[in-house]
Copies of this chain bind each other. A is one copy, B any other.
Amino acid sequence: MGKGRMEAFSDGVLAIIITIMVLELRVPHGTELAALRPLVPVLLSYVYLGIYWNNHHHMLHAARHVSGSVLWANLHLLFWLSLVPFVTAWMGENHFASVPTALYGCVLLMAAIAYTILQRQILRAEGPGSVLATAIGNDMKGKLSPLVYITAIGAALVNPAIAEGMYVVVALVWLIPDRRIERALTARS
C-alpha cells in the first residue's frame, strides 16, 4: 500500500496546526519586553511541532510498507498534536499558571506515546533487520522524553518555572539533528 497519501494527509494536518497557532497570535499589550512573554510558548510549540514534522518525515522516508494499523496510529498521533495550539494558548494567556503548564506537559506526553506506538507499528511492518530498525537502535531519546514529561507535570504543580525549563531542554535535545536514519540509509545504498 502506498505511503504517499498518508504523508500528504499528515502534512496537511501539521501545516494547518502550525499555521493557525501562529495566525492566532495576539498583539502583546504594553511596550516593555515583559509583554512579549506570552509569545514564548508559541515559539516553543512551533519548535516542538517542527521536530515532530521533521522526525515523521525521516521515519516515513525510511519506511517501505504502510498497513491499516499504521494509518490509525498516525491519526492518533495527529489528534494529540492538534491539541497543542489549544494548550499553548491556555498556558500563554494564564502566564504559566500551574494547571495549564501541567496540561501542556500531558499533551506532550500523550503525543510522545502516540509517536512511539506509530514507530512500533511501522517497525513491525518493516521487520527486525530493516534499515529503520537499525537506524532507531535503542532509541534513548524516545524512551527518556516521556519520563521527563511526567516529572515536569509533577513539577508544574509545585513550581511551573521548573516544568517550563524541562520542556525547553527536551526540545533542545531533539533539535540536535537526528542523523541516525540518514546515516543508516547512506550505509545501505
Give me 22 A-to-B residue pairs in the complex whose CB atoms sit less than 8 angstroms apart, sorted by A's number.
Answer: A1-B61, A1-B182, A1-B185, A2-B61, A5-B7, A7-B8, A9-B11, A9-B15, A12-B12, A12-B14, A12-B15, A13-B19, A15-B16, A16-B19, A18-B78, A19-B78, A22-B83, A25-B86, A46-B75, A46-B79, A50-B72, A53-B75
How many chain copies does the complex carry? Answer: 4
| Size band of the interface chain A makes with B | 35 or more
Q: Which residues of A1-42 are within 8 A (CB) of B?
A: 1-2, 5-9, 11-20, 22-23, 25, 27
Chain A interface mostly: helix
Q: Is A95 an interface residue (CB 8 A)?
A: no
Residues in A lying within 8 Å of B, measured CB to CB: 1-2, 5-9, 11-20, 22-23, 25, 27, 46, 50, 53-54, 57, 61, 68-69, 71-72, 75, 78-79, 82-83, 85-86, 90, 177-179, 182, 185
